[in-house]
Structure 1
Amino acid sequence: MRPSGLKPVVVVLALGLALAACAEKKEGAPAPSSASASAPTSVSASHNASASADQRPEHLPKDFPIPADAKVSTSHSEHNEGKKSALLIFTTQQSMSTLSETYKNYFATRIGDNAAQTIDENNLIIQGDSADGKESWSLIGSPLASREGVVELTLTWAGT
């Protein structure tokens, strides 16, 4: 797999969102911003434990398959200095085998041989860059130990 300038963007976005999710927001206090004051940024975010599958991040490619029964907990898009990124976290009751097949096929067309995969009955991890280097993808999923029959997936995407 060749190096990509989009990977640092995905890593920074994921870490920033993780930190923001853990931070306690005081009433009346503005939300923290990771963007510099001079950099133009547009952000759209949604956090809803029982959202429908059509609550996809604005910049996420429209053909990314989201299960019909998905419950979206985090949907976030950002556009900064010409680069777009998206984070989507959702749960579904589809089986790991169904999800693995769906996303293996999807990413075969999006990132082909550039994909690194770990797929078994407890893990679904597919990461890689498109052949033209314009997109970077990371999908991580596993069954929730606390909720029988429920799988949680976390998708990060960055592109131009």
Structure 2
Amino acid sequence: MKKKLTIAAIVAGMGIMGATGVYAGTNLQQIKAALNYGIGIEVNGQAYTAKDANGKTLAPITYNGTTYLPVRAIGEALNTPIAYDAAASKVKIGSTGASSSSTSGSSSTSSTGTSNVQRPQHIPADFPIPADAKVFDVIESSKDGVKSVVFSYLTKQGLEQIGNNYKQYFVSKGATKQYEEIKSDGFTVIDSGSNFSVTATGQPGKGDKQGFNEVNIIWQGQ
């Protein structure tokens, strides 16, 4: 059956990926936009509420008369694969964006429907990532010697163990400002030093990620 997306306003342009944009890059331009809670979304005649991987409700964004939707959430609603190719800085929509296998080992689709890609290039070589991690949503940039990366991963490793590993690692790297809340069911680590800043959060996976723990990393450093 052909799927139809109905939106209670004229919507143009491609949606915005759900990664956190707190890094600088040569292709990024700051804008002032508004979260538009007045726009409703219907998918196949049914009311639909877009949510991120943590279950937080997402609102459309209106900018210069154009309304943008979160592409990953809409893709999931339409059962359409969404993937981000970090090397090419390209969002891929449809079956070509998430192949079932890859001979190069650079990307593949896991049983949870996320894209398993290589370890991000812009984090330190010793940055802790569990051996079983399925990495996805990688966005990297580099400017004036400062490297930035935003990525997520799924793992079976316990959240408390991961949180403590990060706490110890960032202390060893010279963290001078630290905020750490680490529990068995989730963690938040916000640390910074003379040449790096990082935010790491972890929580149990939801939806098709149940059975895994999801960790989100925002890293900037030299």
Q: Contact 2:176 / 2:192 at 8 angstroms: preserved in 1? A: no
Q: Contact 1:47 / 1:74 at 8 angstroms: preserved in 2? A: no
Q: TM-score, normalised by structure 2?
A: 0.48
Matched, 1:51 2:116: yes
Q: TM-score, normalised by structure 1?
A: 0.65
Matched, 1:22 2:70: yes
Structure 2 distance, partners of 1:149, 1:104, is 24
Q: Contact 2:160 / 2:186 at 8 angstroms: preserved in 1? A: no
Q: Contact 2:116 / 2:135 at 8 angstroms: preserved in 1? A: yes
Structure 2 partner of 1:92: 155
Q: Contact 1:119 / 1:125 at 8 angstroms: preserved in 2? A: yes
Structure 2 partner of 1:151: 213
Matched, 1:70 2:80: no
Superposed displacement of residue 97, structure 1: 2.5
Question: Residue 51 and residue 23 in structure 1: after superposition, are their counterparts in 2 closer, same or farther (change >3 A)?
Answer: closer
Superposed displacement of residue 87, structure 1: 1.2
Give, as a single letter, the amino acid of the residue that structure 2 aligns with 1:57.
P
Aligned length: 127
Structure 2 distance, partners of 1:136, 1:67, is 20
Q: Contact 2:160 / 2:187 at 8 angstroms: preserved in 1? A: no
Question: Residue 157 and residue 21 in structure 1: after superposition, are their counterparts in 2 closer, same or farther (change >3 A)?
Answer: farther
Which secondary structure does the structure 2 equivalent of 1:112 belong to?
coil
Matched, 1:110 2:158: no
Superposed displacement of residue 115, structure 1: 1.4
Matched, 1:12 2:75: no
Question: Residue 21 and residue 64 in structure 1: after superposition, are their counterparts in 2 closer, same or farther (change >3 A)?
Answer: farther
The list of structure 1 runs, each at least 4 consecutive aligned residues, that deviate by more than 4 angstroms after superposition, is 18-21, 45-48
Structure 2 distance, partners of 1:87, 1:21, is 20
Q: Contact 1:47 / 1:72 at 8 angstroms: preserved in 2? A: no
Kindly provide the CA deviation profile for residues 120-157 of structure 1, in whole angstroms up to 9, marking residues without a partner as x. Answer: 12221111211x2x111110111123344311011111
Question: Residue 99 and residue 105 in structure 1: after superposition, are their counterparts in 2 closer, same or farther (change >3 A)?
Answer: same
Which secondary structure does the structure 2 equivalent of 1:13 belong to?
coil
Give, as a single letter, the amino acid of the residue that structure 1 aligns with 2:135.
V
Q: What is the root-mean-square deviation of aligned Cα atoms in Å?
A: 3.2
Higher helix share: 1
Which secondary structure does the structure 2 equivalent of 1:118 belong to?
strand
Unpaired runs of at least 5, structure 2? 1-19, 29-51, 53-60, 62-67, 73-85, 90-105, 109-113
Structure 2 distance, partners of 1:82, 1:99, is 28
The equivalent position to 1:119 in structure 2, one of 173, 177, 182, is: 182
Give, as a single letter, the amino acid of the residue that structure 2 aligns with 1:13.
Y
